[in-house]
Amino acid sequence: MMESQLWNWILPLLISSLFISIVAFYGFFVKPKRNSIRHDRTVSTVTSDVGSVNITGDTVADVIVVGAGVAGSALAYTLGKDKRRVHVIERDLSEPDRIVGELLQPGGYLKLLELGIEDCVEEIDAQRVYGYALFKDGKRIRLAYPLEKFHEDVSGRSFHNGRFIQRMREKAASLPNVQLEQGTVVSLLEENGTIKGVRYKNKAGEEQTAFAALTIVCDGCFSNLRRSLCNPQVEVPSCFVGLVLENCNLPYANHGHVVLADPSPILMYPISSTEVRCLVDVPGQKVPSIANGEMKNYLKTVVAPQMPHEVYDSFIAAIDKGNIKSMPNRSMPASPYPTPGALLMGDAFNMRHPLTGGGMTVALADIVVLRNLLRPLRDLSDGASLCKYLESFYTLRKPVAATINTLANALYQVFCSSENEARNEMREACFDYLGLGGMCTSGPVSLLSGLNPRPLTLVCHFFAVAIYGVIRLLIPFPSPKRIWLGAKLISGASGIIFPIIKAEGVRQMFFPATVPAYYRAPPVKGETKCS
């Protein structure tokens, strides 16, 4: 009761003080705008590469989409449904086999509904997800998604990534004005600073060129084209080691499970009616060798003893079966170069730690923003004026995308164990704060689920956790040591979240309406400048 009353007056005061702090930090955090086009091996000039081809007349497609993953397939269907001629070029059209991109948050499912592709989670044995369960040192708490105000069909979904993508590709290819082709894009084609199309090798290995008014690059986290369209600052904080647990009964059915293990979190969630995905996070860029048995030994001796007892046997069986995969976890803030004739989307454009499963939600939300911007336009051929207009895309997407990105990257740092005593206090405080109930639970979970991606709400709850940790230290008797530890906790919390916010951009994240591009109107004939 005392804690509940305490938070009733602390949080309003916290919101006000944080708002003032953000404004004060604004001058420090804002980054200069870049608008130059990089010239590297992924950009070729049209004149030297295609010689006498006439590109001033009608092109085959309105839009070229490079990549047919979640972002590319959804985008192709969305633009095709709006009567655009879309040419999709995907490196490999066979069913992908990945260990991430398998959990779609409720906020992402709402975007599927908005785009009219919600049927893509049907007939793939997708499982409904209604919340999370957290485990730490023998304690466990259940966190339910706040779905009371939504239709009963709205929830998270978890599935095999490859099955979901194949359904999306089939959906896109079902439109007569969408061409889906297997090929490897080698470079973008540029003429006088404007991207006119792509050069690619088709399935037979023959070199081809394709032209369109707008080229949208969605070729994933390993993109070889992004350097010409953005300033990539890719970080790899950890790697995921993935296993499939068969016939495993999770402690909480239809929930994601997060174990706050040492040294870093373990995730589990159902991906079919008989399979559970387990992702073991390994800090750093190197993992124990799978080939020589080091990985099996690590999983059995370090990880297995920290697993909930309900899944222990299934976890050991999965290790013995040996189908162990690993992949690096990448993080990259969006830092685009506005480029006439081209745009970046999906993981090629923006990545965050996959701990919170927010990547598909960000990609689908971006597609909704882009669709709404392009709908008033019949003609996309004026690359320069279109480029200027689409600068609003980067601003309009930012509050949602930056909230999900910041939450994922900050929460990962909080959930990892540390030799730093203050950081471990923050970890313990976060676990207990989420278990308080009321808005201390529903607020963070609404952010995690993508149902309420508001930047200020995120910052308020993050520092509420830190203040809660300090109060725990000072009660019942504050000692100099505990006061100093509390100060280090606040300092550590600031050191986690402020650099992430700085990379995302404070002005666009918190004050998008102050950015001129926010009000940019659709281009009219005669506009030629791309600022």
Tokens representing 395?
A: 């601003």
Give the span between the Cα atoms of 322 and 241, in whole angstroms.
12
Tokens representing 473?
A: 């230290």
| Average pLDDT, integer, range 187-201 | 95
CA-wise closest residue to 385 among 521, 247, 188? 521
What confidence score (pLDDT) does residue 46 get? 52
Do residues 198 and 215 touch, judged by C-beta distance below 8 A?
Answer: yes
What confidence score (pLDDT) does residue 33 get? 42
Tokens representing 366?
A: 């971006």
Return the bridge partners of 179, or none: 87
- Per DSSP, the residues of 113-171 read HHHT-GGGGTTTT-EEE-EEEEEETTEEEEEE---TTS-TT-SEEE--HHHHHHHHHHH
Model pLDDT for residues 424-464, shown as the tens digit of each residue: 999 999 999 999 999 999 999 999 999 999 999 999 999 99
Of the pLDDT bands very low, low, confident and very high (cuts 50, 70, 90), residue 525 is low
CA-wise closest residue to 241 among 368, 327, 354, 161? 327
Within 142-250, residue ranges assigned H as helices are 161-173
**Which residue matches tokens 């992004």?**
226
pTM: 0.89
Do residues 260 and 134 touch, judged by C-beta distance below 8 A?
Answer: yes
Which of 10 and 95 is assigned the larger pLDDT? 95
| Average pLDDT, integer, range 148-172 | 97
Instruction: For residue 263, say if its preceding peptide bond is cis, omega within 30 degrees of 0.
Output: yes
Q: What percent of the chain has pLDDT over 90?
A: 84
Per-residue pLDDT at 18 exceeds 70:
no
Model pLDDT for residues 268-293, shown as the tens digit of each residue: 999 999 999 999 999 999 999 999 99
Do residues 85 and 62 touch, judged by C-beta distance below 8 A?
Answer: yes
Tokens representing 420?
A: 């730093």
Model pLDDT for residues 103-129, shown as the tens digit of each residue: 999 999 999 999 999 999 999 999 999
